[in-house]
Amino acid sequence: MGNNEDVMKKIHEEQLDRVLMCLNYIGAFVLAASLSRVFSMGWQNFLYIHIFSYIVVLWISLYKKHLPHTIKSILLAGILFLLAVSGLSKFGLVGYSSAMMLIFCIVVTVFYGTRGGIISVLLSSVAVAVVGASFVKGMLTLNLDILGYIQSPFSWILGTVSMVFLTGLIVIIMSKVNSQLAGLVRDLNTQNTELLTTNRALSDALDETRRLKTGLEQAQKMELVGIVAGGVVHDLNNVLAASINYPEMLLLDTPEDSPLRKPLETIKKSGLRAAAIVEDLLTLSRRRVANKEVLDINNIVAECVAGPEVERIKIFHPKADIRVEHEGTPLKIKGFPVHFAKTITNLVSNAAEAMPEGGKIVIKTSSEIITVENRPDSKMSEGEYALLQVSDEGQGISEEEKEKIFEPFYTKKEMGRSGTGLGMTIVWNSIKDHEGYIFLDSIKGRGTTFRLYFPITHEPLPEKKVRPALSLKNGRGESILVVDDVKEQREIATKILTMLGYSVAVKSNGEEALDYIKDHPADLVLLDMVMQKGMDGLDTYQKIHELRPEQKVIIISGYAETDRLKRALELGAGAYLKKPYLTETVACAVREELDKKPKERIVYN
């Protein structure tokens, strides 16, 4: 506001200077004319008015830098009005009074705006009416030889000069006003452009803020669920071990035609199913120790579509037509094969549920070069990405559902068929674990497409290791020390290892294990990572490592903090075995750990 007032004040000062300049020149000619009229016609009074007016104009010109703008403009307007009225009373409408009235109105309007212009017009009208009435009533007389005035060359010279200066003044004022208005318009257009640019920037910033806020809220929800999940995973896996391992051991001694086999197999399958749900919870906690490996997503897709999970989806949704489209060349990324396959399975399940009447589900893979111009997310780095798209012809997802679809336990699927409501949450977490991006394109009633981007790697694919067939009872009497704080876990491990042909000793905490191993060397230690009392797995392993640097150790846990487990593996621990484990998994892990070369390490999922 202050800037606008300064601009207007500057404009008015410039206009006032021009008016003063013109009046200085016009005043000199008018004063000369008045002097000549004194000698020829005796117009002394008229001369006095001109002398007074000219002195005022000169005084304003000399002291204009020291006078307030308001004083200067009022004095100039008053001089113009005085000259106009004096001319009107002397010459009536014959002289220059009409032009002077016009100049007065223009100047006042320029200096004081519309309101000032209206007041000047009213004053001029009143002055003309009063002077006119005075002439009509005989109070004023026109003592002017009109013919002589018209025939006088001096009158024409003075009139011409006055007209040039007066009309020139009008032209200068109006042209300058027009120029300044054009400048103001340009400035306003520039400011408007800047405001629009700033507004767009603010709008983009607000959108980015809202997006970041939404992402932060989503991340906080995931973190909270992960914390809760992580707190119960270890205990759940310990509980599930009994429902998996005992039926498994009983089945080994149960004849094929026994009526007990089916119930035992059902118990085992139920335990494995529960273990899979716990694994989903572990995925939510996002605390895993497996190293990323190079994957060909085309192979993962093919194996997943041909696998038992997708076959199960087809059983529940026989009208779903699952198709795969992919490039011929491998699309390599770095990630976790099990979790990547779980992502595909969950997206396919989601698509099938969205098509109760059936339809096509298309799984498409391709490569895409992402640049600043075409990246779908401003946070995406430029580079080469593998693009996995899963599309369906289903009911689509509303805007409201889009905001909730990745939230834990949010589901609109049929209860009993579709898991726990963690599927899309696991997808979201898996994408983050793979340093990828996920985008959802959907219109209600017109289908849905999920687009998943993963950074491509050019590292070679690992060689496939073919595990030789092993007899379950492959122990050779080697001594194995089991360290676990849960009694049931110690009993299960003892039964499995004894059945496999090993000599087993058990301890319930790290302190007991250290005391035992000082005097009783063991070929292998099976060490639980999370123990409630005394030393945990890492502390125990560090002490064992100090006593026996070459001691072979398998880390076992239903759940472990990533940093502590990694530390144990860095110190030299061998395999990592996750609870609940199957007898076959234990047999392979123990045999391979006993037979492997130093510095080798295996993770068993």
For the segment 145-149, the average pLDDT, to the nearest whole number, is 60
Instruction: State whether 336 and 450 are in the same domain.
Output: yes
Residue with tokens 């949010």, as numbered in its chain: 410
Which residues lie across from 505 on neighbouring strands?
481
Q: Inform me whether the pLDDT recorded for 493 exceeds 60.
A: yes
Q: How far apart are CA 181 and CA 57, in angstroms?
A: 28
From 151, 177, 212, give the residue that closes a domain: 151
Q: Which of the four pLDDT bands, split at 50, 70 and 90, describes residue 416? A: very low
Residue 247 pLDDT level (bands cut at 50, 70, 90): confident
pTM for this model (two decimals): 0.55
DSSP secondary-structure letter at 597? P
**Residue that finishes a domain, picked among 104, 121, 151:** 151
Alpha helix stretches (DSSP H) within 253-359: 261-285, 297-305, 308-316, 337-353
Is 158 part of any domain? no
Residues 16 and 124 in one domain: yes
Distance between CA atoms of residues 114 and 108, nearest Å: 9
Rounded Cα distance between 230 and 508, Å, is 23
| Co-location of 133 and 101 in the same domain | yes
- pLDDT tops 80 at residue 143: no
Q: 7 forms bridges with which residues in the sheet?
A: none
- The better pLDDT of the pair 130, 18 is held by 130
Q: What is the CATH number of the domain that holds 581?
A: 3.40.50.2300
Instruction: Assess whether 503 and 422 both reside in one domain.
Output: no
> Which pLDDT does position 1 carry in this prediction?
44
Please count the structural domains in the chain. 3
Which residues is 163 bridged to in the sheet? Answer: none
Half-sphere exposure of 40 (CA within 13 A, CB side): 13
CATH number at residue 437: 3.30.565.10
Average pLDDT in the chain: 79
Residue 243 lies in a domain: no
| Residues 123, 74 contacting (CB under 8 angstroms) | no
Domain membership of residue 242 (yes or no) is no
43: which residues sit within 8 A by CB, 6+ positions away?
Answer: 34, 37, 90
**Local structure of 286: helix, strand or coil:** coil
Cα(556)–Cα(228) distance, integer angstroms: 21
- Name every residue whose Cβ is closer than 8 Å to that of residue 184 and which is 6 or more positions away in sequence: 7
**Do both 451 and 483 map to the same domain?**
no
Let me know the angle formed at the C-alpha of 587 by 474 and 257, rounded to the nearest 5 degrees. 85
pLDDT in tens, 155-184: 566 566 666 666 666 666 666 666 666 777
Q: Are residues 503 and 418 in the same domain?
A: no
Number of helices and strands (H, E) in the chain?
17, 13
Q: How far is CA 596 from CA 130, 175, 292, 557, in A?
A: 124, 97, 22, 21
List beta partners, residue 603.
576
In a domain, 240, yes or no: no
Question: pLDDT tens digits for 508-530?
Answer: 999 999 999 988 889 999 998 88
Q: Sorting pLDDT into bands at 50, 70 and 90, what band is 29?
A: low
Residues 506 and 444 in one domain: no
At which residue do the structure tokens 């064992």 appear? 544
What does the alpha-carbon distance between residue 384 and residue 366 come to, in Å, rounded to a whole number? 11
Cα 417 from Cα 410, distance rounded (Å): 15
Looking at the structure, do residues 391 and 312 belong to the same domain, yes or no? Answer: yes
Flag whether pLDDT at 317 surpasses 50.
yes
Q: What value does the mean pLDDT take over residues 147-154?
A: 62
Residue 408 CB contacts under 8 Å (≥ 6 apart), including other chains: 221, 222, 225, 284, 421, 422, 425
User: Of 128, 151, 174, which residue is a domain's last?
Assistant: 151
Picking from 17-26, 240-249, 410-419, 514-523, which range would have the lowest pLDDT averaged per residue?
410-419
194 belongs to a structural domain: no
Instruction: Name which residue leads in pLDDT, 496 or 164.
Output: 496
Contact 434, 283 (CB under 8 A): no
Provide mean pLDDT across the span 565-581: 80
Domain with 401, as residue range(s), is 293-455
Q: Looking at per-residue confidence, does 156 or 327 come out higher?
A: 327
Mean pLDDT of 227-234: 67
Task: Assess whether pLDDT exceeds 90 at residue 502.
Answer: yes
The pairing of beta strand 503-507 with beta strand 479-483: parallel
**Same structural domain, 419 and 511:** no
Q: Are residues 525 and 402 part of one domain?
A: no
Q: Is the pLDDT of residue 480 over 50?
A: yes
End-to-end Cα, the chain, rounded Å: 71
3-class DSSP assignment, residue 58: helix
User: How, if at all, do strands 437-442 and 448-455 pair?
Assistant: antiparallel
Whether residue 253 is contained in a domain is answered as no
In terms of domains, do 489 and 450 share one? Answer: no
User: Is the domain of 418 the same as that of 534?
Assistant: no
Three-state SS for 124? helix
Angle at alpha carbon of residue 135, lines to 129 and 136, rounded to 5°: 85
Decide if 286 is inside a domain. Answer: no
* Residue 218 resides in a domain: no
Task: Please name the residue that has the structure tokens 């096509």.
Answer: 360
Specify whether the backbone of 421 is left (phi greater than 0), alpha (psi in -120 to 50) or beta. left
